[in-house]
Amino acid sequence: MTDIGAVPSSAIKATAGRSVLAGLAGGLALNLVMLLTFRLIGFGWKGDGFLTDPSIQSAKLIAVWTRIEPLPLVVADPPPIVLGLLLFGVLHAFIYRWMAPAWPRGIAARGLRMAGLIFLMTFLFWEFFTPFNLFGEPVGLILAELVFWAAIALGEGFAMAAVQETARR
């Protein structure tokens, strides 16, 4: 049995530092892909995207995102949300560090598994519990959003794996 005390502290710090760096890369990818999908395509730069089209979207969801005060922070004051998503990326990287040794080697294999984990455990739950359950969003729009979330999870998972696996070589 190996004692954690037998591992040099410099090795632990390097691994933790690599995980933080991978998490920041993943969080940056998460923010960027979210901006390109939800903001640019879904909601539109001026709130005129298909996710706020009253002919297909739930009036409750539109009201929450555009009229009911206080507006969501991601709309009214994005920096704390951007920072929070970066921190989630760091937390995800530590989960990656914990899980990756059980996965096949390689950026693609591990990035895809991490993306799947993030998608299934976070984004799928979010869409079911919030837009579907709380806002009554139509299923077709939820499916479109799940495509966005899949792209976001892939961006985060692959960015994280690229940093972690490249640093290991």
**Per-residue model confidence as pLDDT tens for the chain (169 residues):** 444 445 445 554 558 999 999 999 999 999 999 999 999 999 999 889 999 999 999 999 999 999 999 999 999 999 999 999 999 999 999 999 999 999 999 999 999 999 999 999 999 999 999 999 999 999 999 999 999 999 999 999 999 999 999 976 6
Question: What is the rounded CA–CA span in Å between residue 112 and residue 120?
Answer: 12
pLDDT at res. 137: 98
Contact between residue 158 and residue 166 where contact means Cβ atoms under 8 Å apart: no
Contact between residue 10 and residue 68 where contact means Cβ atoms under 8 Å apart: no
pLDDT at res. 4: 47
pLDDT at res. 126: 97
Question: What is the rounded CA–CA span in Å between residue 138 and residue 143?
Answer: 9
pLDDT at res. 47: 87
CB-hemisphere CA count at 13 Å for 6?
A: 3
Domain ranges across the chain: 13-168
The pTM (predicted TM-score) of the whole model is 0.90
84 closest CA partner among 23, 168, 42: 23
pLDDT at res. 13: 57
Question: What is the rounded CA–CA span in Å between residue 73 and residue 96?
Answer: 28
